[in-house]
Amino acid sequence: MGLKDFLFPTLTAASPKQVDVEASLAPFNLQSSIYGLLNAPTTMDRATAMSVPSVARARNIICGIIGSLPLEQYNKFTGAHIEPLRVINQPDPRVSGFVIYNWLVEDIWLYGVGFGLVLDAYAEDGRVRAWTRIDPMRVTVEYNNDTTEIVGYKVDGRSAPISGPGSIIRFDGADEGFLNRAGRTIRTAVELEIAALNYAKEPVPSMVLKSNGTNLPSERIAKLLEAWRNSRATKSTAFLNADVEMQQVGFDPKSLQLVEARQYLALEIARAAGIPAYFLSAETTSMTYSNATTERRSLVDFSLRPILSAIEERLSLPDVCPSTSEIRYDLDDFLRGNPLERAQVYQILNTIGAMSVEQIQQEEDLIR
């Protein structure tokens, strides 16, 4: 190669890039686009968030409702109802199913991901026989060298097996989690709670005692402030001599609009949590039984549905459920209308022959 060729290389046509289709179908790490979905640091910790009443209320509504809903098993091809496996409604034989799913739903809601630890598996096919919820803070994700695929998990720093007892069941949520998307809103609500606490301790604007005479030593100042604080706790009237003057600084709670600000933050938290503001008392509405039922349906459609689907579809995978079956939540009792609405529907169904009187009685739990 001459000097000219070295300084001015001839451009050659680039060879077409070969795409490994099988490799491209591997699980993709969304950490770069959704920062909290795959165990990235959160912008708010759970303990601080739960100190805000609106957050605690939203958590208890979402987790409590889903945790109490029964899971049913159906034939994937015929739609026929099948008696669900014990591992579906009571994953851990030592604990009630409500407890497991209540905390699993919280993990999915707060962090965008939840984990289950396999306790036992069937010897013949390796399907999960028992599992329990495990705190996401105990689980570490292991990636390949390119950070494009999950290759394993660690529990408390020890590598977990790929399958069988000790392995991990992963429940992926729909987004990065409430603690990530609403961290700043929660922090603002926490500061408002602190401000309310401060005014509850001293329900008057901040005061300054100014000396009009000579400068007082620190010990004398401390005693003066202590005497003033103790006197204000027992008496409403104060006396100051000519050497000391009281000055008011800051604003009272009404001027700061603490009540309005906290109500606004409750509304913002309801929006971030994806829960109708009515459930957090964040807006004033007149609710009747009829539109309260409609609000329940809205709660399922716009708040609970992503978490319901995450759990349903994960439990329907072959490592937990037979490949011919699928798992679905039973929402009938939660969404059932008032007695008058149900009676009208039953009358129509009975008239056209779709339901017998005995079936209606069974549906209403009138016979066993």
Same domain, 176 and 84: yes
Closest by CA position to 172, among listed 68, 72, 314, 287:
314
What residue has token string 């998307």?
Answer: 181
Same domain, 162 and 220: no
Confidence of residue 364 (pLDDT cuts 50, 70, 90): confident
How far apart are the C-alpha atoms of 51 and 48, rounded to whole Å? 5
18 found inside a domain: no
Angle between helices 97-111 and 305-315 (to 10 degrees): 120
Same domain, 82 and 148: yes
3 found inside a domain: no
139 found inside a domain: yes
350 touches 360 (CB < 8 A): yes
Compare 233 and 343 and report the one with higher pLDDT: 343
User: Which residues share a beta bridge with 121?
Assistant: 128
* Other C-beta atoms lying within 10 Å of the C-beta of residue 315: 25
67 touches 101 (CB < 8 A): yes
163 touches 128 (CB < 8 A): no
Confidence of residue 19 (pLDDT cuts 50, 70, 90): very low
- Residues 286-342 have pLDDT tens digits of 555 456 667 788 888 888 999 999 999 999 999 999 989 999 999 887 877 667 767
Same domain, 75 and 34: yes
11 found inside a domain: no
Confidence of residue 15 (pLDDT cuts 50, 70, 90): very low
Same domain, 360 and 283: no
13 found inside a domain: no
Same domain, 99 and 244: no
Last residue of a domain, one of 224, 249, 274: 249
State yes or no: pLDDT of 200 exceeds 60. yes
- Our count of domains for the chain comes to 3
Confidence of residue 110 (pLDDT cuts 50, 70, 90): very high
Same domain, 52 and 87: yes
* Other C-beta atoms lying within 10 Å of the C-beta of residue 206: 13
State yes or no: pLDDT of 164 exceeds 80. yes
pLDDT at 338: 64
How far apart are the C-alpha atoms of 309 and 108, rounded to whole Å? 12
Last residue of a domain, one of 249, 281, 305: 249
The residue segments making up the domain with residue 221 are 207-249
306 found inside a domain: yes
How far apart are the C-alpha atoms of 170 and 168, rounded to whole Å? 6
pLDDT at 5: 55
E strand residue ranges, 250-366: 325-329
Same domain, 328 and 356: no
295 found inside a domain: yes
pLDDT at 109: 94
Last residue of a domain, one of 249, 283, 307: 249
| pLDDT-above-70 percentage for the chain | 71
State yes or no: pLDDT of 237 exceeds 70. no
Average pLDDT rounded to a whole number, residues 168-172: 94
pLDDT at 98: 95
What residue has token string 């590598």?
Answer: 159
Calculate the alpha carbon distances from 27 to 24, 143, 251, 343 in Å: 8, 10, 55, 49
177 touches 42 (CB < 8 A): yes
15 found inside a domain: no
Q: Is the dihedral of CA 106, 111, 112, 118 positive or negative?
A: negative
Average pLDDT rounded to a whole number, residues 62-89: 93
Same domain, 201 and 212: no
Same domain, 360 and 344: yes
How far apart are the C-alpha atoms of 318 and 169, rounded to whole Å? 12
Closest by CA position to 70, among listed 101, 92, 42:
101
State in Å, rounded, how far the first CA of the chain is from the last one: 94
The pTM assigned to this predicted structure is 0.70
Same domain, 194 and 321: yes
Same domain, 188 and 211: no
